[in-house]
Structure 1
Amino acid sequence: MSEDQKKQLQTSLWNIANELRGKMDADEFRDYILGFIFYKYLSEKLELYADTDLLASEDIVYKDVPDTDFEIIDEVRKAALDHLGYFLLPSELFSKMAERTQLDDYIEDLQRILANIESSTMGTDSEEDFDKLFSELDLNATKLGKTVNARAELIARVLKHLDKIDFQLGNSQIDILGDAYEYLIGQFASGAGKKAGEFYTPQEVSQVLARIVTNGKKRLKSVYDPACGSGSLLLRIGRYAEVDEYFGQEMNNTTYNLARMNMILHDVHFDRFDIKQDDTLKDPRHTEYRFEAVIANPPFSAKWAGDSDPLNAQDERFSPWGKVAPSSKADYAFISHMVYQLSDSGTMAVVMPHGVLFRGAAEGVIRQALIERNYLDAVIGLPANLFYGTSIPACILVFRKCKIADDVLFIDASKHFEKGKNQNRLRSSDIDKIIETYAARKSEDKYSHVATVEEIKENDYNLNIPRYVDTFEEEAEIDLDTVVSELRVVDAKTSDLDAQIAKFTKELGVRSPF
């Protein structure tokens, strides 16, 4: 598929999404359109599997099989649950609902189908991955229409439009649907304002994080994001290295559903991902694991229990660092949690506000301990206004437990970006420069500096980037003699002008201004 065709597809999907919009906020109609796309994907994936792997020799098309043909239905159900993790009856397929012209009981039937997809997994290995996956799709919400009939007409129209789009699921060389889904999530994020930061990291920043944790590696056994949002950041790693298993945790229910859908839509088998819902700092779900790559863009300076809960001081994630992160700012709580989950041979990259580089008190104690343990590998300053919902500049902190060098690489990439109307963005050349500098671990005038721990110690463990990378541009020298000469010429011309004006006013018989 060419880039033009891809853009046409994305535009078509965005236009279909806007059919649903009405008076809904971006994050509300997002849940509906992405949910319907996911339903279409599950249906077509099942049809493709049944037709090509199970029924091809019998010259039978699954869509045409009656629900009452129990022998075939049972065969497909058993194989689909083992291979795909879910099941739909022929009458429940997306295309059947899209073709339907009779709208009586349309809403009820669609709700039943979505519930049946979830319940089909009960008692199987995929049950947790599909549990309440469509829980946010309230098809009877009045924002979809004031009457049942109006809601049915709108949803049926959207499903008909979606049915015309070919996601080419049979072509294993391309991921049209995955790319389209990522595009839509990005579009919704741009219109969701502050809420967008809860579920989406700008694609360019995701690239930097993913390329850092995959640097020098072609395969990763496990990757982890403790604040995984829509899961896009985790999936980005898979573009640069083969990933065996994805792990993540997300507190928000809507976003948790989005992450699981995103994994499945990107053809990540249900036994290769484990996304949990809960507060990572309060109730972490993967503490028994150590991960080869840990990556995150946690909420900046979020409030949490901190040292007001005495149990945190005894928690082995937080206790080694001398202090517990303050309740007003959870930044170092996320950092210390992620370091705890990092394997000895792994790499961790996390987006943080600049305050973590220099704030004192408990945060200063934790920062010093991390540096003295020689875990901090790099500090990368990013341009302002890159992220949804906040214009403040952020940084990326990179940690590794088995460092050879006793130093920290500082990169100031804050001036390398493309200015946008609402948001700035990193260009490919900006991203490449960051990664190349990180990989080479080199100092470059006005861009990067490799600082020894002794140098950092002399700065009282303050990591503020301008202390290490001097980006000051000297102004050109001014020749005062030349300036004086130019002023004399200007004065002479002014005097001549004044004399002419005085002459004209005298001839006109009006008062001179001089």
Structure 2
Amino acid sequence: MSSNNSKTLFQALWNSADILRSKMDASEYKNYLLGLVFYKYLSDRMLCFAVDMLEEKAETIQDAQKIYELAYYDLDTQKDLIDVLKEEFSYALEPNLTFTALVQKAHDMTFELEDLAQGFRNIEQSSELFENLFEDVDLYSKKLGQNASKQSKTITAVMKELDTLDLAHDGDALGDAYEYLIGQFASDSGKKAGEFYTPQPISTLMSRIVLEGMKDKKGFSVYDPTMGSGSLLLNVKKYSNEPGTINYFGQELNTSTFNLARMNMILHGVDIANQHLKNGDTLDADWPVDEPTNFDAVLMNPPYSAKWGAEKGFLDDPRYSSYGVLAPKSKADFAFLLHGYYHLKESGTMAIVLPHGVLFRGAAEGKIRKILLDNGAIDTVIGLPANIFFNTSIPTTVIILKKNRRNKDVLFIDASQDFTKSKNQNKLEKQHIDKIVETYLERESIEKYAHVADFEEIIENDYNLNIPRYVDTFEEEEPISLVDVAKELSQVQKEIKEANTKLAEMFEDLTATDPDVQVELNQFLEILKSGDIHG
């Protein structure tokens, strides 16, 4: 089955966004577009499966729709068809509620928003997996139009644009396109984007590091307690040799973003049994508390320096109890870090993005950092360039943590100057990421880029991990030649003299009507000729 249109997937998706962009900001219109893409995907996938099951052939999704209608309304085949679809997908959309049927109604001018709303409800009520998945798609929002007719017109315009795509057969391409869209929304959303998206290059860097030595492991488990749209989690499958066996554990506080992650998982073809996602507050109550509770990898890009409860009761919480102090109320950075580290397997690797303050701030944070260093928990500190995230322009650090290390040295990598400048942001390219990963693996000092600090050096620096203390990137200026300076000075004086002579020649042609002004003019000419004016 082929697409009706040769438009690229990315372009058609972005064209659909254009329809909504003038009506609301990106943080809102992403819910509509991603929700409709997801509904079409579920609809198309079901239609294609039904055609194969019925051993029929369909050139287009419209052909598949006709075959499905005939079988669905045929009393001899209806029950078996519905039973198989529900077993396979948990849902079986009525023929008049498929995405294809609804677009046809739009062309026939018979489309009603309530039909699409009913389709959403049918999917949501079919399984716990889809529960409340479309709750952010408000089809009756005034932002779509002032009345039902205008709202319907906006939604159908988006649906017609999406109808050109065959979403059932694009596999990973669709997942990648979804990621592309989320990234574009993040770019449009500015600071709000930090809530749901980690740029792909950062995800790639962190995924490659935590998978090192475990690419062939079956049943690899990865946990992100601040998962956003799930992009950090999903990047892991690109670097595993057993991607179909990965178990994903993730928690997200924002319900809209949590739903985005659920859709993202399904669109990337992650088996339902391998998804373990929760909508909740990571710091407020520990999760997961049922087996498994520890993971091969922990990946985190938490909100930077967020506020949190920090109630004294947390000192009895096993995540924090062995440190004797809590992260300050105004800066939850170490609360997130300790939560993630608590859930790391003895043989695992953790990578977390945080602001540089965690490397050197004192008080409670200094005490926590000292205990982590005394335990050999901090393996590597990577300084990233400024302005590579959507929600902040500050430079950030990726901290790599491990358990049961044989020594307590720390590798420092200063990658802050390695980036490509683009219009709105700095970007890490493949060569920059490769350099960081290779340096991480080699674990050797490189002048002006990396330094392996032994534990004594850490102690000498009072457990302060500020990168410039360990990696000296200072560039000495070229020594100045006094002979060259003298030559330049002589040349400048010569040019000034020539300019003064030309200026004097021009002034000699001037005469003043006022005698006093003429006297001043003559005096100025004398000065010019004598060469007493210098630049």
TM surpasses 0.5:
yes
Q: Alpha-carbon deviations, 1:461-505, whole Å to 9, x = none?
A: 111000010000000001224323442454355456656755775
Residues 194-233 of structure 1 mapped to structure 2, 5 A cutoff? 194-218=191-215, 219=217, 221-233=220-232
Rounded Cα–Cα distance in structure 2 between residues aligned with 1:160 and 1:255: 26
Bigger shift: 309-318 or 146-155?
Answer: 146-155
Aligned partner of 1:76: which letter? Answer: L
After superposition, residues 166-315 of structure 1 pair within 5 angstroms as: 166-167=166-167, 169-170=168-169, 175-218=172-215, 219=217, 221-241=220-240, 242=243, 243-288=245-290, 289-306=293-310, 309-315=311-317
Q: Which stretch of the first structure deviates more once superposed, 85-94 or 25-34? A: 85-94
The structure-2 alpha-carbon separation of the partners of 1:448 and 1:287, relative to structure 1 and needing over 3 Å to count, comes to farther
Q: Is the 8 A contact 2:375 2:408 kept in 1?
A: no
Deviations 1:293-335 (A, max 9, x none): 11011000000001xx122111000111221111100000000
CA contact (8 A) 1:295 1:350 kept: yes
Match of 1:15 in 2: 15
Residues 277, 9 of structure 1: CA spacing in aligned structure 2 closer, same or farther, 3 A cutoff? same
**How does the TM-score come out when normalised to structure 2?**
0.88
CA distance in 2, matches of 1:134, 1:442: 50
CA drift at 1:18: 1.3
Question: Equivalent residue of 2:77, what SS?
Answer: helix
Distance 1:439 1:87, change over 3 A: farther
Q: Is the 8 A contact 1:383 1:417 kept in 2?
A: yes
1:124 matched to which residue of 2?
none
User: 5+ unaligned residues in a row in structure 2: which ranges?
Assistant: 59-63, 512-520, 528-535
CA contact (8 A) 1:63 1:93 kept: no
Identical amino acids, percent of aligned pairs: 47
Matches within 5 A, 1:419-498: 419-491=421-493, 494-495=496-497, 498=500
Secondary structure, aligned partner of 1:114: helix
**Aligned equivalents of 1:104 and 1:433: distance in 2?**
58
Give the match for residue 86 of structure 1.
91
Find the aligned partners of 1:340 and 1:328 in 2 and give their Cα distance.
Answer: 22
Paired residues of 1:281 and 1:333 also in contact (CA < 8 A): yes
Give the distance between the partners of 2:509 and 2:122, measured in 1 at CA: 100
The one-character-per-residue Cα deviations of 1:89-134 (angstroms, maximum 9, x if unpaired) are: 333221111111455561111101110111122xxxxx1x211001
The farther-off stretch of 396-405 and 494-503 is: 494-503
Choose 1 or 2 for highest CA Rg: 2
TM-score normalized with structure 1 length: 0.91
The letter of the residue matching 1:153 is K
Residue 511 of structure 1: which of 497, 522, 528 is its match?
Answer: 522
1:125-144 to 2 correspondence within 5 Å? 127=128, 129-144=129-144
Range 466-475 or range 277-286, more displaced: 277-286
SS for the counterpart of 1:268 is coil
Deviation at 1:283, TM superposition (A): 2.1
Residues 1:487 and 1:9: Cα distance change in structure 2 (over 3 Å)? same
* In structure 2, C-alpha distance between the alignment counterparts of 1:58 and 1:472, rounded to whole Å: 68
2:319 is aligned with 1:317: yes
What do residues 70-99 of structure 1 show as CA deviations (whole Å, max 9, x unaligned)?
663433343334333433233322111111
Q: Does 1:113 align with 2:110?
A: no
Number of equivalences: 498
Q: Is the 8 A contact 2:71 2:77 kept in 1?
A: no
CA root-mean-square deviation: 2.3
Q: CA deviation at 1:281?
A: 0.5
CA distance in structure 2 between the partners assigned to 1:6 and 1:211 by the alignment: 34
Q: Distance in 2 between matches of 1:469 and 1:395?
A: 14
SS at match of 2:433: helix
